[in-house]
Amino acid sequence: MISKTTIDKVFDISRVEEVIGDYVQLKKSGSNFKGLSPFTEERTPSFMVSPVKQIWKDFSSGKGGNVVAFLMEHEHFTYPEAIKHLAKRYNIEIEETEQSSEEKEKASERESMYLVNEFAKTFFVKQMLHTDEGKSVGLSYFKNRGFTSETIEKFDLGYSPNEWQAFTDTALEKGYKLEYLEKTGLSIVKGEKRFDRFKGRVMFPIHSMSGRVLGFGGRILTNDKKQAKYLNSPESEVYHKSKVLYGLYQAKQTIAKADKCYLVEGYTDVIQFNQTGIENVVASSGTALTPEQIRLISRLTNNITVLFDGDAAGLRASIRGIDLILEQGMNVKVCLFPEGEDPDSFAKANTLEDLQAYLDENAKDFIRFKASLLLEDAEKDPVKKAEIVRDIVNSISKIPDQITQEIYIQTCSSLLDVSEDVLFSTLAQMLSKDRKEASRGIRKKSLQVVKETPESSPVAKVDHQYVLERSIIQLLLRYGDQTAIFTDFDFDFEEDKHIEVKREYVVFEKIFIELQEDEVEFSNALFKELYDQIIGIFAKERALKIDTFINHLKPELAQEVTSILMENEKNQLHDWKRQEIFVIDKSVLDPREVMETILNLRRYLIRKKVQDLSEVIRDQKEDVDIELMRETMEYNGLEVLISNKLNRVL
């Protein structure tokens, strides 16, 4: 168990904008920050972070909450793991007890796999640094590559002993289950036999964005042609090769700060660049680049430079995958190293200044690079040149921004010696074809939905009571401790009429008095619980600290509070003023809004009461209860009175 004092300290020191900034490229938007959703695929920001309230809201997925909720959603942490992660980030001392074998068994499958991977990382590091075999084989390999002790530690590099069961047997002795050793791919099980997957290899742990070990890459050190040079963990519940970039955990902050990312192919390319001093570099680990990997980068920067070996075989085939980056609306450059060099060897042989200068001078715009590269093959062959022109225009068609498309067309016209009109016409044909295919896909999906939807599906009705109760919670959260002048309606018995009287109230007191007077009970259990807690805090402390309040709520309550508080901030995602649409500023208290909400709730409840009474009267038919009719008429009179008050408030 983590003590409450420690948890409070973690919440006090943690900054939601700093933590989320490690995963999402945030841009200032008024007093808040906005960025692309880390949970959905999108090109326009729908993700908001409020430093003042210390909460975030993703309007595309509906998720939201505090800093711990973000880590639980994004990294699939449990609550204690999220607290521990933040404590480590902010150097807060935290009590941790060793997990017993029984506790390990109780952990969920996913968490158990993370635990196994973490243990494996520690085991491989210890084997390399503290055993004779590890030092002479594993450590000497990394030292020969020029890696320093600091670099080796930074990337958690290790060594798996050249024995069939060294890791598996040790893990089982420590209480880890064979089931999870097999599911992570660390151990291979065949009937009664079990042995280590990475026997005799130097180890490269693959981390998530938050630093959790997802899997491993292992390099063999012998010249055995029967074995693969590099071996990766198999796909599992926690490791999906197409959704991971090697080195992103170490590079994320530098990428966001420099607003640029270098993309290489291998583990050692990343490590050597880091050691030279360029840390904003990641690797696709030998796989073809995927949309999921590109989106990981796009959350941190919109600028990416792809680095290729000087003698990379199949370079022309490799650059075709870069169209995926263009589709995401990113700015792409390509840098080719001298013949015989790769990022690893070039970084090792040069100083930071020389390496940075080379990258700056030789990084070319992707479209220009592609045109110059492909035209080498065409020479004087008109048919081949026509194919290349279509290929390049096809790449331009992937760019979502129309202005960027036009600039590239103009550039390519002079490069390819083809008229702009022809290029624009070809581009229009390609875009039209893409739109038709997309439309066909949407239509097919829509027809499928229609087939699956019952013909008589009723249209969902608006729950007015839910809306009004939610509005009252919103008023309390936004303005609960503020004082304002309210218009009351007192009955003058001498004049026999209602008269307006101005009185000063604190908002939470006004709401409480009005609802208490009519004995209004919330029908929604979530809002009832929130209302009771909020009123209780105001009554005791006369103020409500939003960040502290949210941090101690149950997850479902915290989610609802975040949605309510960030509703107004959603308007910052759209430039409404530019379109001459003016949104009401909800940051300023309007006493009329408070009274209008209370009166509307009263009117709704009275109308509901009248409907219930009317049904009873109808059921009585001829033998009607006179008292019941009188009660109904009184409620009708009250509804008219409230309607009159509403007109005056409005």
Task: Write down the pLDDT at residue 251.
Answer: 93
227: pLDDT confidence band, cut at 50, 70 and 90? confident
- 512, part of any domain: yes
Do 320 and 193 have their domain in common?
no
User: Which of residues 468 and 621 earns the better pLDDT score?
Assistant: 468
* Percent above pLDDT 90 for the chain: 31
- Rounded to whole angstroms, what are the CA distances from 228 to 216, 242, 594? 14, 20, 70
Q: Let me know if residue 470 belongs to a domain.
A: yes
The answer to whether position 524 is within a domain reads yes
Residue 555: in which H helix or E strand, if any? helix 555-565
256 within domain boundaries: yes
- DSSP-derived secondary structure for 481-542: T-EEEEEEEEEETTTTEEEEEEEEEEHHHHHHHHHHHTT---SSHHHHHHHHHHHHHHHHHS
Query: Does any domain span residue 579?
Result: no
Q: Per-residue pLDDT averaged across 326-349, rounded?
A: 90
User: Does residue 313 have a pLDDT over 60?
Assistant: no
Q: Which residue has the higher pLDDT, 615 or 300?
A: 300
Integer Cα distance of 553 and 561 in angstroms: 9
Side chain identity, residue 644? N
Which contiguous run of DSSP H or E holds residue 258? helix 248-258
336: left (phi over 0), alpha (psi -120 to 50) or beta: beta
pTM over 0.95: no
Contact 36, 298 (CB under 8 A): yes
Q: What is the pLDDT of residues 393-409, one digit of tens each?
A: 888 888 888 888 888 88
| pLDDT at site 558 | 87
Is there a single domain that holds both residue 231 and residue 307? no
Asked if residues 475 and 594 have their Cβ atoms less than 8 Å apart, the reply is yes
pLDDT band at 510 (very low <50, low <70, confident <90, very high): confident
Torsion angle of C-alpha atoms 152, 157, 161, 166, degrees rounded to 10: 130
Q: Shortest CA distance to 369 belongs to which of 336, 324, 325? A: 336
Q: pLDDT grade, residue 183 (50/70/90)?
A: very high
Same domain, 231 and 259: no
- pLDDT, position 148: 95
CA distance 644 to 642: 5
Looking at the fold, whether 10 and 110 belong to one and the same domain comes out as: no
Amino acid at 643: S
Reduced 3-state DSSP string for 82-129:
HHHHHHHHCCCCCCCCCCCHHHHHHCCHHHHHHHHHHHHHHHHHHHHH
Token match 């309390």: residue? 476
Shared domain check, 476 and 549: yes
CATH of the domain at 8: 3.90.580.10
- Same domain for 134 and 256? no
Q: Which letter does DSSP use for residue 197 in this model? A: T
Residue where a domain terminates, one of 37, 58, 89: 89
pLDDT attached to residue 391: 83
Q: What is the pLDDT of residue 650?
A: 46
Report the candidate in 629, 547, 550 with the shortest Cα–Cα distance to residue 12. Answer: 547
Of 181, 220, 170, nearest in space to 198 by CA: 220
List beta partners, residue 220: 201
Q: Which residue has the higher pLDDT, 11 or 117?
A: 117
DSSP state of 319: G
Do both 273 and 306 map to the same domain? yes
Rounded Cα gap, residues 241 and 287, in angstroms: 8
Q: Summarize pLDDT for 413-439 with one digit per residue, the tens.
A: 887 788 888 888 888 888 888 777 766
The mean pLDDT value for 155-168 works out to 96
Residue 16 and residue 113 in one domain: no
For the record, the structure tokens of 606 come out as 């009275």
| pLDDT tens per residue across span 18-60 | 999 888 889 888 888 999 888 887 778 889 999 988 899 988 8
| pLDDT for 461 beyond 90 | no
Average pLDDT across the chain, whole number: 84
Q: 180 is in which domain, residue-wise? A: 104-239
Q: Domain with 113 in it: what CATH number?
A: 3.90.980.10
Q: What is the pLDDT of residue 379?
A: 65
**Worst-scoring range by mean pLDDT, 48-57, 107-116, 440-449, 591-600?**
440-449
More confident residue, 400 or 310: 400
In the prediction, which pLDDT does 274 show? 96
In this predicted model, what pLDDT tens digit does every residue of 588-636 receive, in sequence order? 788 888 888 888 888 888 888 888 777 777 777 666 677 777 777 777 7
The predicted pLDDT at position 552 comes to: 81
Is the pLDDT score of 447 beyond 50? yes
Total domains in the chain come to 4
List, for residues 247-294, the tens digit of each pLDDT value: 999 998 899 888 999 999 899 999 999 999 999 999 987 677 888 899
Q: Is the domain of 64 the same as that of 161?
A: no
Average pLDDT, integer, range 452-463: 56
What confidence category does residue 492 fall into, taking pLDDT thresholds of 50, 70 and 90? low
In this structure, the answer to whether residues 221 and 338 fall within a common structural domain is no
CA distance 122 to 158: 8
Q: What is the pLDDT of residue 389?
A: 84
Q: What values do phi and psi take at 216, rounded to 5?
A: -140, 155
Q: Are residues 123 and 261 in the same domain?
A: no
Q: What is the dihedral of CA 611, 614, 619, 625, to 10 degrees?
A: 140
**Is 185 a domain residue?**
yes
* Encoded amino acid at 551, one letter: N
DSSP codes joined into one string, 367-409: HHHHHHHHHHHHTT-HHHHHHHHHHHHHHHHT-S-HHHHHHHH
96 or 430: which carries more pLDDT confidence?
430
Average pLDDT over residues 223-229: 80
Biggest alpha carbon–alpha carbon distance for the chain: 107
Among the ranges given (150-154, 258-262, 405-409, 516-520), the one the predictor scored with the smallest mean pLDDT: 516-520
Cβ 373 vs Cβ 322: under 8 Å: no
The neighbour count for residue 295, using CB atoms within 10 Å, is 18
CATH number of the domain residue 394 falls in: 3.40.1360.10
What pLDDT is attached to residue 279?
96
Mean pLDDT across the stretch 205-213? Answer: 91
User: Out of 103-107, 367-371, 429-433, 456-460, which region has the weakest mean confidence (pLDDT)?
Assistant: 456-460
pLDDT at 236 over 90: yes
User: Across residues 291-314, what is the average pLDDT?
Assistant: 83
Distance CA 22, CA 25 (A): 8
